[in-house]
Amino acid sequence: MNNGILLALLGYATFAWSDAAIKALGGGMSVFQIGFFQLAIAGSLLVLLTRPEGSGWLDFWRMKHPLPVQVRAIIGMIAGVGGVYAFTTIPLAEVYAIAFLSPLFVTLLSMLILKEQIGPWRWAAVIIGFLGVLVVVRPGFRALELGHAAALMMATLSASSIILQRSLASRERTTTILGYLIVYAALFNGVATVVTGFEPPSRTEAAILLVAGAGAAAGHMFLMRAIRIAPVNQLAPTHYSQIAWAVLLGALLFNEQPDIWSASGLVVIAFSGLLTVARERIRLGTVRWNPFGRTRL
């Protein structure tokens, strides 16, 4: 196993621990306060560590295309709030199952907005992945909560964010796109925290917030390093290691035991993603893969 794959696996593992830390804070801290502190930690680390060498702070904030950059930031901000709410209210495995609809939504949006051609293999992956989510969530056979709706909103908005980022990738700095997302999300969560009532975190909560923020930042850093040293067609399947982490952390930390239907649905979701990866390897010898398929900040 090469170093790139190990770094990608480590990146998704740290993302999973960050998500588990967010879940652990649920019930004792507001969604907005969790989001604000996670951003304060993760955002600060990422901006400091990803700023291009020799780039001044004023250059960092300059935009060539202000409207799409700010729209992308607002979409990411709303998706982030939805993600925190979902993780604090429903089982980890169910959040991940719905979140993995995001790549499927990207396929649909790329056809509608970017006019990309969608072949039968990709359509098959979309349908199989959607069926997998239905098996996990089972609407009509069990009570659905607002957390499920929040996770679906997160998946939909994350897909829209990825489409926007594709169009901006060659025209704006990655740090500029990330920076405006952090500013919008921090301001929104900060104001919402003040309005809904700020509660100083305890020492335990502060430590968990540190895990949530540092884990999110480390996940991004590991993945950015991974894609520099390994081909994306080797890294793409590592994304689905998060499903295993969701089941493991949910069982160990929160006593969330997936039943046979949920486990089967998660396997189907992973299969749908790997089907796309396999097809792209055959067709092009590579894959189009976005390592940040879900909006994390």
- The model's pLDDT over 35-48, given as tens digits with 9 standing for 90+, comes to 999 988 887 787 67
Structure tokens at 271: 């299969």
Tell me which residue of 263, 162, 282 sits closest to 274, measured CA to CA: 282
Q: What is the mean pLDDT of residues 69-74?
A: 89
Residue 210 has a pLDDT of 94
Least trusted range by pLDDT, from 66-75, 86-95, 147-156: 66-75
Residue 149 has a pLDDT of 94
Q: What is the mean pLDDT of residues 118-137?
A: 82
Residue 68 has a pLDDT of 86
Comparison of pLDDT for 177 and 19, the residue scoring more? 19
Residue 88 has a pLDDT of 94
C-alpha 130/C-alpha 272 separation (Å) is 9
Comparison of pLDDT for 154 and 114, the residue scoring more? 154
Instruction: Indicate whether 188 pLDDT > 90.
Output: yes
C-alpha 161/C-alpha 153 separation (Å) is 12
Mean pLDDT of the chain: 82
- Apex CA 23: angle with CA 19 and CA 26, to 5°? 145
Comparison of pLDDT for 117 and 204, the residue scoring more? 204
For 104, 128, 173, 182, 188, the CA distances from 268, given in Å and listed in that order, are 13, 7, 36, 34, 37
Structure tokens at 113: 């907005």
Instruction: Indicate whether 55 pLDDT > 80.
Output: no
Residue 289 has a pLDDT of 47
Residue 183 has a pLDDT of 86
CB atoms within 10 A of CB 57: 9
- pLDDT tens digits for range 243-289: 889 889 999 999 998 888 888 988 888 888 777 666 655 655 544 54
Please report the DSSP string for 241-288 in residue order: HHHHHHHHHHHHHH-----HHHHHHHHHHHHHHHHHHHHHHHHHSS--
Least trusted range by pLDDT, from 122-126, 146-150, 218-222, 285-289: 285-289
Domain spans of the chain? 3-284
Residue 10 has a pLDDT of 93
Comparison of pLDDT for 161 and 84, the residue scoring more? 84
Q: How confident is the model at residue 15 (pLDDT cuts 50, 70, 90)?
A: very high
Residue 286 has a pLDDT of 47
Amino acid found at 273: G
Count Cα atoms within 13 angstroms, Cβ side, for 107: 20
Gap between the terminal Cα atoms of the chain: 30
Structure tokens at 240: 């689905």
Q: How confident is the model at residue 33 (pLDDT cuts 50, 70, 90)?
A: very high
Residue 201 has a pLDDT of 92
Amino acid found at 17: W
